[in-house]
Amino acid sequence: MGQYNNTELLEKHHQIFIEQTPTAIAMLDVNMVYLAASQRWVKDFKLEGEKIVGRSHYDIFPEIGEDWKIKNQECLNGAIDICDEAPFYRKDGTMQWIYWDVRPWYNMDGEIGGLLMHTGDITEQKEKELEKKRFETILNDTSKIARIGTWELNLSTNKIIWSKMIYDIHEVSQDFEPTIESSLEFFKEGESRDAATVAIQNAISQGSSINLDLELINAKGKSVWAKFIGKVEYVKGTPTRFYGIMQDISSIRSTEQRLNKAHSELEAIFNSKSIAVITTDKDGIINRYNSGAEQLLGYSAAEMIGKQKPEIYMLEEELMQFRKDMIAEFNDDVTDKDFNYRNENINDTRQWTFKRKNGTTFPVLSTITAVNNEQSQNEGFIAVATDISKIKDVKDKLRRKNELLNHAEKITMMGNWQWNMVLDTVVWSSNLYEIFGFDEENVELKYDTYLDFVHPDDKDFVVEHIKNFIASNKKKGLVHRIVLEDGTVKTIKLIGEVITNAKGEITEVIGACQDITESKKAEDKLIEAKEELEIFTKKLSSRNQQLADFTHITSHNLRAPVANLNSLLEIYGYSEDEEERADIFDKFSNVIHHLTSTLNTLIEALKTKVGNANENLDDCDLNVLLENTTQILSGEILKSNIVITSDFSQVSNLTYNKIYLESIFLNLVGNAIKYRSENRSPEINITSEIIDGKINLKFQDNGLGIDLKKHGHKLFGLNKIFHRHPEAKGVGLFLTKTQIEAMGGSISAVSEVNVGTTFIINFN
Amino acid sequence: MNDVLKTCIVDDDSIYRYTMVKTLESTQLPMEIMTFSDGEEAIDFMLDNLDEDSVFPDVIFLDIDMPVMDGFQFMEEYIKIKPRVGKKITIYMVSSSLDPVDITRANNISAISDYIVKPIGLGKLKEIMTELLKERKD
C-alpha cells in the first residue's frame, strides 16, 4: 500500500513537476491520453481553459495528421523523435513554428508507459530569423545594384578581406590577395592616393573614421570613382579592426555631371533672350521671369517676380478660352464642382496674344506645363513662349502668295502638282482639279490618276516623256491632250521638274499644267493665217518685182524712143533743107515703128502678168511641141544646118499653158539658131528631167555664148541685146521669162563665150 | 586744130546718133564728130591709138545701155588705160534712164563729169560745147 501510495505520490509529484516546468512538456500514456501538461504547453498551444488531462492528444489536436500519428506510434515502440523546427498548422488557421522532442517513458518495470513530449514555440524566433534572412538578401541585392562592397583590415595582422563586389570594382580575380600597399596602389596617384594613405594612418593611430570620394584606377586601367566609409573597432581600448564599405559611384558621378550639364543647358535656355520663360507658384504669382521675357514683354523681372500674375500680360478672353479648353480636356463631368484643371497634367501649346507693358500686343507660341507635386496638387506653371510675329508675317505672306498663285492659276488656266515618288502620293492645286473637271473630294491621288486622263493616243509618248525626263533630270515641256470624264478633250502643256535629296536621289517631281486648248486653237489659226500671209507676201513681192521691172522698162524702153522723137522734132524744126526733112521724117517713121513694137511687147507681157495663166492649162506633149517648133522655124533650120536633138524620156507630157510653152520653145530654139557660132556646126539638145520632184527642161546649144559676168544681170531684160546681130531685139528672153514666172516657175542660164549656152527652165 | 573740139558719141541707137550729130552740127561750133555704136568699138579705137592721143576725143557722150559693152563696162576699161592717156577727156553719161541706181552709179565714177538725161536738146548741148571750148582756150 505504502508502495502504492509511494507510487501514487510519485506520479503526483511527476504531474506537479510537469505542470510547473517552465517549458512546454506533456506526458501521455500509451493510448496517447494526457497524464500531465505544463502550463507552458497550455499557453503555447493556446489551450487555456481546456481540460487536458485524461483527454486524447488527437482529440485536443485534431489537426495532427497521419504522418505524425505514425511517428508517435514509433515512439511508443521505443523511438525518439526529435525535430528542430517544423511548421504546425493549427485548425484555427494559424501556423506555429515548433521544435519537439518526443520519446517514450518507462515505468519501473522498464516498460514503455507512454510518451513524453517536449515542444517549444519558436514562431517568434523563426520569424525574426526569416526577417533577418530577408533583410540580408535585400542588403545583398542592394549592395550588388548599388555596387557596394565591404572590406576589413585586421589591425593586428594587417590582413585585408574584400567582399566579392570589391574584387569586381577593382576588376581583379578572386585569388588576388590584397595588402595595405597593394590596395593603396589602386588609388589614383596624387590627391586620391594621398588622401587614402593619410586616412589609413589616422585610423590606425587615432582611430578616426573616414568618409571619402576617391578615384581608383582598376586593374583594367579604368577610372573608377568610389565612396569609402570606414570606422575602427576597439577591443579594450585598442583598435583591432578597420572596416567599412566601398561604393562604386562612377555612374552616380557621371549622372551628376550629366545633371550639371543639363542644368547649365536649362540655365542657358532660361537665360535665352529670344525665349520667354515664366513660372508661377501655386498661387499663380510669377516666381521666375527670364531676360527673354523682359525683352518680349517690356516688364523687368523686378516688376514681376513675387508681385504679378501672368494675367497682366495675357488677354482675359484667351485665358477664359484656355480654362474652358482645359476643363473640357480633362474633365468629362463638367458639373463636378471639386474639379480643378490646375491639378491635371497640363501640357498645352497654342498661340497666344501677349500684351507688352506699353500696351501693344504681339503673337506668341507658348507651351504651358503644370508643375504638380506627388499628391497631384498644382505647385505652379511653367510657360515657355516665343515671339512668332515674324513667323506669322511670313505665314501671312505665304498665304497671300498662295492666294495669288491660285488667282494666277485661274487666270492663266494653270494648275500645279507635286508627286512624292517615295510614297506615290500626289497633291494637286485646286485649279488643276478645275482644269481636269475632277472632284476635289475624290479618291486619293496617285501618279496614275494623271495618266488616266491622258488621251489614249497620247498616252505612250507621255509615259515615255515622263520616264525620260525623270532619267535625264532636266526641265522639259510637253504638249498632250486629256479627256475629261464628260468626254471633253483639252490640250495641256506639261512642265515638270525633278527634286532630289542630298544624295542626289529623286524624291519628288513637281510640275505645272496649263490648259492651252484655246491658245492651241488660236495658234493653229495663227499658223494657218501666217502661211496664207506668206503665200500672199510671196505673190505680192513677185508683183512688186514685176512692177519694179515695169518701171525700169518704161524708163528705158519707152523714154528712149520718145527722147528720139523729141530730138528729131527739134532738128525738124530748124532744118531748112527739104532733103534733110524727108530724111528726118523717115527716121520718125522708124522710131514710131520701134515704139509701137515695144508697146506691143509690153502689152503682151502685161497680159501674161495680169491674166491668170493657170486658167488655160493643156496637156502638152513635148515631142509634138518640138515638132511644131521645127516646122515654124524650118526656114532658119535649113539655112543654119542646126542639128536638133531631144530626150523627153523622163518627162514627156506636161500640164501647161500651151501657147506659152510654144512661145518658150520658139524663142529658145530660135535664139540657138540666131546666136550660133560660125566656127561650129550648130547643135541644140533639149532634155526633160525631174530634179527634186520638179520638172526641168534644158536647152543646151554650142553657140556664141554670153559673158554672164558682164551681162548676166540684164540677160532677161527687155530690149537687152548682147550681140551686134541685126536681128537682136532683146524681146524673146524677156517674154520667155515673163511667161515662165506667170506659171510659177523660173528660168536660169549658164554660158561660156564661144562654147555655148544652156537655159534651164524649172517648172514649179 | 587745137581749137577744134573732138566730140565722140557712143550709142547703139542710130536715131540718137543721127539726132546728136545733127544737133551738134547746128551749133556751128568748131568740132570733129566721131561715133561708135557700143563701148567696145570706142575702147578698141582708143587702144589702137594709144601712141597718138591727139586723135582721142576731147569730150565723150556715153550711153549706158548698149550691147556687147555698155557704158559702165566702157568706163571700167577706160579707167585702166587712163594713166596712159596724156589728154584730158571730159565724159558725159547720157541715158534715157531715170533710174536712181544708174544715176548714183555714174556719179560715183570721178572720171564722169555729169549725168545727162536724154533728150539733151540743142540749148543744153550748145552750152556744154561752148564751155568746153572756152576751157581749152584758157
Q: What pLDDT, in 10s, does the model give residues A367-414?
A: 999 888 887 788 889 999 988 888 888 888 988 988 888 888 888 888
Per-residue pLDDT at B62: 94
CA angle (A583, A586, A587) in 5-degree steps: 95
Same fold, A24-122 and A611-763: no
Measure B35 CA to nearest chain A CA, in Å: 16
Which CATH class, in words, describes the domain spanning A272-392?
A: alpha beta
Q: Could you confirm whether domain A24-122 is CATH 3.30.450.20?
A: yes
Distance CA A741, CA A764 (A): 9
For strands A756-763 and A746-752, give the pairing.
antiparallel
Q: Could you confirm whether domain A611-763 is CATH 3.30.565.10?
A: yes
pLDDT confidence band for A352 (50 / 70 / 90): very high
Kindly list the residues from chain A whose CB atom is less than 8 angstroms away from the CB atom of residue B121. Answer: 566-567, 570
Distance CA A689, CA A744 (A): 18
Distance CA B133, CA B58 (A): 10
Tell me how far apart the terminal alpha carbons of chain B are, to the nearest angstrom. 16
Distance CA A368, CA A383 (A): 4
Share of chain A above pLDDT 70, in %: 94
The CATH number of the domain holding residue B52 is 3.40.50.2300
CB-nearest partner of B16 from A564, A580, A728: A564
DSSP letters along A76-121, please? HTT--EEEEEEEEE-TTS-EEEEEEEEEEEE-TTS-EEEEEEEEEE
Residues 6+ away with beta carbon under 8 Å from A572: A581, A584, A585, A588
Per-residue pLDDT at A92: 81
Q: Is the pLDDT of residue A725 over 70?
A: no
- At A383, is the secondary structure helix, strand, or coil? strand
Q: Are B13 and A564 within 8 A, CB to CB?
A: yes
Per-residue pLDDT at A726: 66
User: Helix, strand, coil: what percent of chain B each, to 5?
Assistant: 45, 20, 30
Which of A564, A586, A591, A721 would you mutate first to test chain B, the one with the most B CBs within 10 A?
Answer: A564
| Set of cell numbers at residue A80 | 525518439
Residues 6+ away with beta carbon under 8 Å from A427: A417, A418, A445
pTM, full prediction: 0.42
Per-residue pLDDT at A462: 87
- What is the residue extent of each domain of chain A? 24-122, 147-252, 272-392, 413-596, 611-763
Identify the domain containing residue B66 by its residue range.
5-137
Residues 6+ away with beta carbon under 8 Å from A96: A44, A45, A87, A88, A90, A121, A123
Length of chain A: 764
Thinking of the domain A147-252, which architecture would CATH place it in? 2-Layer Sandwich (3.30)
Mean pLDDT of chain A: 85
pLDDT confidence band for A605 (50 / 70 / 90): confident
Please state which of the four CATH numbers 3.90.1150.10, 3.30.450.20, 3.40.47.10, 3.40.50.1220 is assigned to the domain occupying A413-596: 3.30.450.20
Q: Are A720 and B65 within 8 A, CB to CB?
A: yes
Nearest CA in chain A to B76: A710
Nearest CA in chain A to B24: A571
CA angle (A85, A88, A89) in 5-degree steps: 150
Distance CA A303, CA B106 (A): 104
Q: Is the pLDDT of residue A660 over 90?
A: no
Q: Are A169 and A248 in contact (CB under 8 A)?
A: yes
Q: pLDDT tens for residues A444-487?
A: 778 888 888 899 998 888 888 888 887 777 676 888 999 988 88
Number of domains in chain B: 1
Distance CA B63, CA A728 (A): 18
A722 touches chain B (CB under 8 A): yes
Give the 3-state DSSP-derived string for A1-13, with helices as H, strands as E and coil as C: CHHHHHHHHHHHH
Per-residue pLDDT at A41: 87
Q: Are B3 and B30 in contact (CB under 8 A)?
A: yes
Per-residue pLDDT at A1: 42
The alpha helices in B28-70, defined as continuous H runs, are 39-48
Which of A570, A597, A711 would you mutate first to test chain B, the one with the most B CBs within 10 A?
Answer: A570
Surface-to-core class of residue A525, CB atoms within 10 Å of its CB (0-12 exposed, 13-18 middle, 19+ buried): exposed
ipTM associated with this complex: 0.85
pLDDT confidence band for A13 (50 / 70 / 90): confident
